[in-house]
Amino acid sequence: MASALAAAALLRLAGADAIAFAHAQFSSDIKALAPGDCGCGAWLDAQGRVQAVFVALRSDANSLLLWLPRGDAAALASAVGRYRLRSRVQIDVVPGWQVLAAPPATTAPPFGRWLAHADGCLLRPAPTAQRGLLLAPAALPIDAAAALEWQREDLCARLPWLETAVAGRFVPQALELERIGALSFDKGCYPGQEIAARLHFRGGNKRGLRAVVTGTLAPPPGTTLSDADGQRIGEVLYAVPAQGGQPAAALVVAELAAPAAADDTAGSA
């Protein structure tokens, strides 16, 4: 039986202009996704700051499903909906779905594809993910231990899932969105594209993702961490508490020169 890991934050974009609208708003090449394809993407504001990170699943010729692993589907629907204007696209939050660990006997497709399974979608969440998950309508009790283990795997893989509390703080390069295929520079314009492209082609970004051990505490998103000598490491993207003999850890948007190896011990400032 599948373990329930979290409620699924999902948006559905549907209509004759849904794909064109999503392609013009988001940082990845949505038009390149064929039905049955999936890929990571983001929505940036006009200042080039990341407001949301998601996995996009192309359903058919005129519809798209967006899963925000740590984001707020309703907030993204409201924000993106303001740019709909006369576009023939309906943007709806999909309620009542959960994120489930793929059953052991189920083999998820390679990243980039998803399969219909148990009334939902079977996929791998990112190019570096070794395990599969199922997005499906369900109302199972959350398996807290499995959820924490899953979150720790995300953290160790440096998956840049964005909490609402830190939305709008980081440029895409600081979240390493290029590493997961969430950033395109040859698809045409989208909000924040000019700033993202300037950082890509001319340089200037001085931050990246680091996993750090935080001891016994899991600091909330946005917390500034320092090392034992008081040197600033960076800001917490998300964290997991101590579990099963493993210490608490955080994924940090760190200064590239900062000491932040995975076995460093950090404290909040």
- Provide Rg for the chain, Cα atoms: 18
Predicted confidence (pLDDT) per residue in 14-25, tens digit: 999 999 999 999
Confidence of residue 262 (pLDDT cuts 50, 70, 90): very low
Which of 1-10, 124-133, 197-206 tops mean pLDDT? 1-10
> Which residues lie below 8 Å from residue 196, measured CB to CB, with a gap of 6+?
27, 44, 48, 171, 172, 173, 183, 185
- 34-70: per-residue pLDDT in tens? 999 999 999 999 999 999 999 999 999 999 999 999 9
Token code pair at residue 209: 């993702």
pLDDT at 244: 87
- The reported pLDDT for the residue numbered 83 is 95
pLDDT at 264 over 60: no
Region of residue 86 (phi > 0: left; psi between -120 and 50: alpha; otherwise: beta): alpha
Q: Whole-model pTM above 0.95? A: no
Q: What percentage of the chain has pLDDT greater than the value 70?
A: 95
Res 4: pLDDT? 97
Mean of pLDDT over the chain: 92
Residue type, 247: P
Q: How confident is the model at residue 1 (pLDDT cuts 50, 70, 90)?
A: low
Q: Which of 119-133, 236-250, 253-267 has the highest mean pLDDT?
A: 236-250
